[in-house]
Amino acid sequence: MTGHRDIPALVVGGGIGGLATALSLARSGQRVHLVERAPEFAEIGAGLQFGPNASRALDALGVLEDILPLAVAPARAVMVDARTGRRLTTLDFGPAFVRRYGYPYLVLHRHDLLEKLVEHCRRHPLITLENNRTVADVDLRADGATVVCTDGTRYETAAVIAADGLHSALRRHVVDDDTICNGYVAYRGTVTRERAGRSADDTSVLLWVGPGMHLMQYPVRRGELYNQVAVFRSRRYRPGLEPGTWGGHDELDEAFEDACRPVREAVARIGRARHWAMFDREPATTWVNGPLVLTGDAAHPMLQYLGQGACQALEDAVELGHRFRLHTHGGVVDLRRAYREFEQVRIPRTARCQTSARPWGELWHTDDPTVLALRDRLLARRPADDYDELDWLYAPAPEATAGSAPDAAERIDATPRT
């Protein structure tokens, strides 16, 4: 058994959210130790879509400039009918979009972001990282906590930040609930741009939607790779069934058999080694229990239809670091106040993301003829530069802490990167 003491803040989880949180806390002057259960830092999946709110958060963390050369700033997003191939609507990500929000829309490879976050954390003198530590439980006290790992390792700490994802081992100490499965599964993977049949100057994000299924496609890693995500509703799913017993290869092919040829060909290129069931949770009314606070998917897992899972985790990280900075006096953090203000700012926003993602996904996947007709008619009428419905998500809050330089739009070239 190993004992670790005198850890002012312990971050549990070494994914994007956990590393960003460690970096944010350290930049606020807090000494941080992060534990990750895997033997090395790695991300599951390939692609990430980052709205301007996430680009803004990366800038606040000092990471954006390292990410820009690796990412792609797409020219537009296009929604297409997956069965007919008819374009439904377009969202322009060009100069007007960047001027409005101050930051670009980016698409990037998860590993590229994770690698840069690890580099920044390892260079920071206030951060230590440790792998091969699986947290099993925590003993919470008024003056701190004891975090216990499966191998018997124990950490004494004043603050515990749970960034350990959807199936967080620590969430049950704050919220008594369970994950919710909607019966959808996702197959993900990348192919070379050439194999995807995409030209070097085509940086569009393509969303193909149809009854009970959709396909998302976009370039990553400077445009060298093409990320593809095929999602569909399983006919075999029933509550209580174990993941892996439904949503297999035959169901994938069946779900897309009525799609147009480009979609069928793209789905045929997606790797079949693994698939992921889609889960979220109901919004929680609190993320805090004494010295423990939940962040990222441990606090507010959401369905992917707004593309906000990792984005909101980054916002969490920046906001928590900001609150620690505000409420540290004489080297001591007023944890209760920092956590309380963190919740007050973040819970309403993430709850809106969680509850908005669900109906948006239903609109993508509807097979109701009336709803389809109304949806397609309304989408066809909206201009490509109509951003009004996005302001709540992408614009900085009046007193945003995840924003930084007022001249960010001038510093960042919004020209699509290939």
Catalytic residues: 218
Phi, psi of 313 (to 5 degrees): -65, -40
Token representation of residue 95: 């100069």
SS3 of the chain: helix, strand, coil, percent, to 5: 35, 25, 35
73 in Cβ contact with 49 (< 8 Å): no
Nearest partner of 80 among 259, 270, 304, 300, judged by Cα? 259
**357 alpha carbon, distance to own chain's centre:** 13
Question: Which residues are registered as beta bridge partners of 289?
Answer: 292
What is the CB neighbour count within 10 angstroms for residue 31? 16
347-350, long-range: CB within 8 Å, 24+ apart, which pairs?
347/283, 347/284, 347/285, 347/286, 347/287, 347/300, 349/312, 349/315, 350/283, 350/299, 350/300, 350/302, 350/312, 350/316
Length of the chain: 418
Question: Which residues are registered as beta bridge partners of 47?
Answer: 109
